[in-house]
Amino acid sequence: MLYGVFSDVHGNLEALKAVLEFFASKKVDGYLCCGDLVGYGPQPEECVRAVSALPGLRCVVGNHDLAAIGRLPLKWFNSYATATIEYSRSKLSGQSCKFLESLPDKIEADGFTLVHGSPKNPVEEYLLSGDQFQESLPHLHTPLCLIGHSHMAFYISKRGVRFPETVPFQDGEEKVKFEDGLIYAVNAGSVGQPRDRDPRAACGLYDSKTRSFELFRLDYRRSLTQELMRRANLPEILVERIGIGW
């Protein structure tokens, strides 16, 4: 099967539309989402509705999703994130809240694991290093783990006793072919708020038949998202982030 992989939409409908149009053009068979549909961006309700309607969707919950429905204390967020979570709460319908409530924190299926943070701490840990990956291995029961949360695109691999290697994705890089005997964690970056100095929406294609993953970066109308954020009186620092990818 060919899956569209995405994460960290964060209420950015313009970026999400670009990603979903791309997936449609590739005729994906299903969708794998690593959470955080809301927070930061100006259109949380529209994003939840769009994602929840996707056929063949497998989606886990993110920390901003949990905070928006009151299941994670706001004290764990900085003031900018808190302001956007409160905004998201004011915009989400009952139906969208029920959808977020229904999302698990981990999915294991068809040879892959889906989490927002890490296998060890599915919602809150930022999995960035080989050391963290090593600590998560006892909690990982598949050869592939798809993650989000950090808003940066990279993969980590490990064979046997070899120390895990972290490799950032570069624009235009060839697809990663998963080798037998290796264990992988793959982060497809962020749809709505990238933090790797590339402001374009990030997403990926995972082919379970060829056991490969390819990252893509897509342009979208960032200026429109920024305009909507300003109209909603969301923090200016987050508006600026949309334009610079940080």
38-80: per-residue pLDDT in tens?
A: 999 999 999 999 999 999 999 999 999 999 999 999 999 999 9
pLDDT for res 204: 96
Q: Does the pLDDT value for residue 170 go beyond 90?
A: no
Dig out the tokens for 30 from the structure: 């299903």
Per DSSP, the residues of 168-221 read: E--TTPPPEEPPTTEEEEEEE--SS---SS--SEEEEEEETTTTEEEEEEE---
Task: Work out the average pLDDT over 228-238.
Answer: 98
Contact status, residue 158 vs residue 133, Cβ threshold 8 Å: yes
Q: Is 223 helix (H, G, I), strand (E, B) or coil?
A: helix
Q: Does the pLDDT value for residue 172 go beyond 90?
A: no
**Number of domains comprising the chain:** 1
Please give the share of the chain, as a percent, with pLDDT higher than 90: 91
Task: Work out the average pLDDT over 113-130.
Answer: 97
Q: Is 3 helix (H, G, I), strand (E, B) or coil?
A: strand
Task: Work out the average pLDDT over 6-15.
Answer: 98
CATH number of the domain that 217 lies in?
Answer: 3.60.21.10
Contact status, residue 67 vs residue 77, Cβ threshold 8 Å: yes
Confidence of residue 159 (pLDDT cuts 50, 70, 90): confident
Q: 121: Cβ–Cβ under 8 A, 6 or more apart, which residues?
A: none
Q: Does the pLDDT value for residue 240 go beyond 80?
A: yes
Task: Work out the average pLDDT over 78-90.
Answer: 98
Which helix (H) or strand (E) is 114 found in, with range?
Answer: strand 112-115
pLDDT for res 68: 98
Helices (H) and strands (E) in the chain, counts: 8, 12
Give the Cα separation of 198 and 194 in Å (integer).
7
Q: Does the pLDDT value for residue 171 go beyond 70?
A: no
Tell me the residue type at 108: E
Per residue in 196-220, pLDDT (tens digit) is: 999 999 999 999 999 999 999 999 9
Q: Does the pLDDT value for residue 173 go beyond 80?
A: no
Angle in degrees, 0-180, between the axes of helices 222-231 and 13-26, rounded to the nearest 10: 150
Domain residues for 21?
A: 2-244
Confidence of residue 142 (pLDDT cuts 50, 70, 90): very high
Calculate the average pLDDT of the chain.
95
Which helix (H) or strand (E) is 244 found in, with range?
Answer: helix 236-244
pLDDT for res 166: 87
